[in-house]
Structure 1
Amino acid sequence: MAIENNQIVSIEYEVRDGGVVVDSNVGGHPLTFMFGKGQIIPGLEAGIAHMNMGDKGDVLVKAHDAYGDYNEEAQQELPREQFAGIDLNVGMTLYGQGEDGGTVQVVVKEIKDDAVIIDFNHPLAGKDLMFTVTISNVRDASAEEAMTGIPAENKVDNSGCCGSGGNHGCGCH
């Protein structure tokens, strides 16, 4: 039976750009999300829609359905003094605060004598990606999950640690 919108899905995945693995959670905690809510990249969500629990398969996600096409205009030249105290290298990732207050990831594209060119494109923008995916769990959402869109596995408890899903970057085991 195909995965339905608002179901909670857990996957194990490996992502390759060409033959190079660029991300993987194999052997770790599964990625758990509510299907149909745009919580994962659209091409991957569409690619697993007809899979069932226990299925494993490859899903090719074209750039426009992954992290978008590469936008040459998504670059900015900033005065070098704004990077004082940072040992800059071309290709390094920096994090800053965007206009909306959220975190923005940029990559150092070029270093000039008096300026630095940063790239706002996601590092995987413009790339077709091959996902090897195993569907480790599919279940109906609880009433609370359906209302909040947050799977119980991803919920943070009052101590600041993650709930029953394990370590999701918050230091719990």
Structure 2
Amino acid sequence: MTITNENCVVGIEYEVKEAGATEVVDSNKGTGQPLEFIMGVGQIIPGLEEALVGMSKDESGDIMVPAEKAYGARDDNAVQTLPIEQFEGVELQDDLTLYGQGEQGQTVQVTVKSFDEKEVNVDFNHPLAGKDLMFSVTVLSARGATADEITSGQIGGGHDHGDGCCGSGTCSS
């Protein structure tokens, strides 16, 4: 089954490094848990999704994703100084990653860059913003999404009759 650009449920094993670096920054290799997502829904970074189009089950490859198609350019305006009172009960340390809730209820990740007795400097940029990334991937699975998966954007969501009646995805064979 060849991956198309939408309505395919894809499972990959991956390892990612900053381009030119040797240190792995994220990986699911050897975990037995593929990263599963629906193509065309924006569940993974755009550059990786684009590069997977045309690949097939059991195919492997190295994929270079430029920063603008990964986590975007670094935004210096995303570094802010906040009063230390907002961090009451948090044991602060440099490079500490914290998670909070954004204005629209979404999860927001910030990194503590520095702090003193009055203020905390935090960076709202993704840690990999502004960095080109090298992915080593293996496609473990590719199938058409069910009607429920297409509607909900969630893998395995809704009902399934078990007889393939909902297999309306567009992966090609």
Relative to the length of structure 2, the TM-score reads 0.84
Deviations 1:91-112 (A, max 9, x none): 1111112111222110001213
Partner of 1:61: 65
Query: 1:11: which partner in 2?
Result: 12
The one-letter code of the counterpart of 2:22 is: G
Choose between structure 1 and 2 for higher RCO, CA contacts under 8 A separated by at least 6 residues. 2
Alpha-carbon separation, structure 2, partners of 1:117 and 1:126: 19
5+ residue gaps in structure 2?
160-173
Q: How far did residue 135 of structure 1 move?
A: 0.3
Seen in structure 2, the aligned counterparts of structure 1 residues 146 and 97 have a Cα distance that, compared at 3 Å, is: closer
Number of matched residues? 155
Distance 2:158 2:16 in 1: 27
Residue 73 (1) aligns with residue 77 (2): yes
Q: Determine which of 142, 149, 161 is the counterpart of 2:146.
A: 142
Q: Which runs of 5+ in 1 are unaligned?
A: 158-173
In the alignment, does 2:103 pair up with 1:99?
A: yes
Q: Which runs of 4+ in 1 moved over 4 A?
A: none
1:149 to partner: Cα distance: 2.0
- What letter matches 1:103 in structure 2? T
User: What per-residue deviation string (whole Å, max 9, x for no partner) do you get for residues 25-66 of structure 1?
Assistant: 112200111112211100000111121111000001111101
Q: Deviations over 1:52-99 (max 9, x none)?
A: 111000001111101111111101111112222322111111111211
Does the 8 A contact of 2:16 with 2:24 survive in 1?
A: yes
Root mean square deviation, CA, Å: 1.7
Q: Secondary structure at the match of 1:46?
A: helix
CA distance, structure 2, for counterparts of residue 81 and residue 144 of structure 1: 45
- Aligned-pair identity in percent equals 51
Q: Provide the residue aligned with 2:52 in structure 1.
A: 48
- The residue number in structure 2 matching 1:22 is 25
- TM-score, normalising length: structure 1: 0.84
Instruction: Summarize the alignment of residues 148-167 of structure 1 with structure 2, pairs less than 5 Å apart.
Output: 148-152=152-156, 155=157
Alpha-carbon distance in structure 1 between the residues aligned to 2:2 and 2:148: 23
Q: Distance in 1 between matches of 2:60 and 2:36?
A: 16
Cα displacement (A) at 1:156: 9.3
